[in-house]
Amino acid sequence: MKKRSLFIIIAGILGFIFLYAPIVSLVIFSFNESKLVTVWGGFSTKWYGELLQDPQILGAAWISLKIAFVSATLAIVIGTIAAFVLVRFKRFRTRTLLSGMITAPLVMPEVITGLSLLLLFVAMQGLIGWPAGRGMTTIIISHATFGAAYAAVVIQSRLVDMDLSIEESAADLGAKPVRVFFDITLPVIAPALVSGWLLAFTLSLDDLVIASFVSGPGSSTLPMVIFSKVRLGVTPEINALATIIILIVSVGVIAAALSMQKGKNNNVS
């Protein structure tokens, strides 16, 4: 018994080192004075300064944030309705179709999704004149679609776990179904809505492939700019950007986890 535990613990710890070593090295070399990313030339924050003066990166970051905000919001609306329909309406004709379409985007290779959406937008423009050209709108629609798939998974699992008797008693007391949904169901699944929104938001911020297909002139997102810079080689500026993103994400995830933990404890007591 003991021998196995030791093996598992050593293998597990090595696994975690594998997960975090690249991230640690990214952060360390973002403070490197030298332009050569891997040779230590003394501590410096100059790359952060340079990053904050790079109009291309800042502009792309702003575009990405706008797209992520709108698409995540759209995704959570579609995802919530889809999850609600799949969990609460047991039998309807298009059920298999809907459940298939909501899970398939999760595993569909991005090159296929990106290409197919672009071809759709081009065909739609030819037929009905909308969307006129590619740009932020087309990226938002594309991101909302796969964001909705992720959001639906998160919300579905919360809806399945939810105690139905609260909804039922509200309905028994005469609450109209829309009222039951907004006053009971939504507050109960609120934590799932928040994590679903955050998931859709980060996925949108992170997407390179789909955005590359469906973007147009003047709507280069942050990952597109990073990709074009990284292809030319390693630059400490990108390390600085990575460090900032990692910091924001870590603080956000830890805060979300703590508040959820607190919410769980409150529910129990």
Partner 1 sequence: MSGQAKLSEKLPEKSIGRLPFAAPLGGALARLGLGPRALVIAIPTVWLLVFFLIPFVVVAKISLSEVAIARPPYLPLWEWQDGILSLSLNFGNYLFLASDPLYYSAFLESLTIAGFSTLFALLIGYPMAYMIARAPGGMRNILLMLVILPFWSSFLLRVYAWIGILKTNGVINHALMSIGLIDEPIVMMQTDFAVYVGIVYTYLPFMILPLYANLVKLDETLLEAASDLGAGSFTTFLTVTLPLSLPGIFAGSLLVFIPAVGEFVIPALLGGPDTLMIGKVLWNEFFSNRDWPVASAVAIAMLFVLVIPVMLLQKAQQSDGGHS
Smallest distance from the beta carbon of 142 to partner 1, in angstroms? 7
Part in contact with partner 1 (CB under 8 A); list of ranges 44-52, 54-62, 90-98, 186-194: 90-98
Which listed residue (61, 67, 189, 238) binds partner 1 by CB under 8 A?
238
Nearest to 241 by CA among 251, 258, 229, 255: 229
Instruction: Using only the alpha carbons of the chain, give its radius of gyration.
Output: 23
Q: From the centroid of its chain, how far is CA 172?
A: 38
d(C-alpha 139, C-alpha 145), whole Å: 10
Give the ranges where the chain is alpha helix by DSSP (H): 2-30, 46-52, 55-88, 95-107, 110-128, 136-161, 164-172, 177-180, 186-206, 209-214, 222-231, 236-268
Structure tokens at 154: 């998160």
Smallest distance from the beta carbon of 65 to partner 1, in angstroms? 14
Residues in 45-74 that interact with partner 1 by CB under 8 A: none
Which listed residue (33, 58, 66, 103) binds partner 1 by CB under 8 A?
103
Identity of the residue, 46 or 101, whose beta carbon is nearer to partner 1 in the bound complex: 101
Smallest distance from the beta carbon of 201 to partner 1, in angstroms? 10
12 binds partner 1 (CB under 8 A): yes
169 binds partner 1 (CB under 8 A): no
Smallest distance from the beta carbon of 133 to partner 1, in angstroms? 11
Lay out the site mask for partner 1 across 18-47 (x = CB under 8 A, - = otherwise). Answer: xxxxxx-xx--x------xxxx--------
3-state secondary structure of 34: coil
177 binds partner 1 (CB under 8 A): yes
Q: Within 10 A of 205 (CB to CB), how many other CB atoms are there?
A: 21
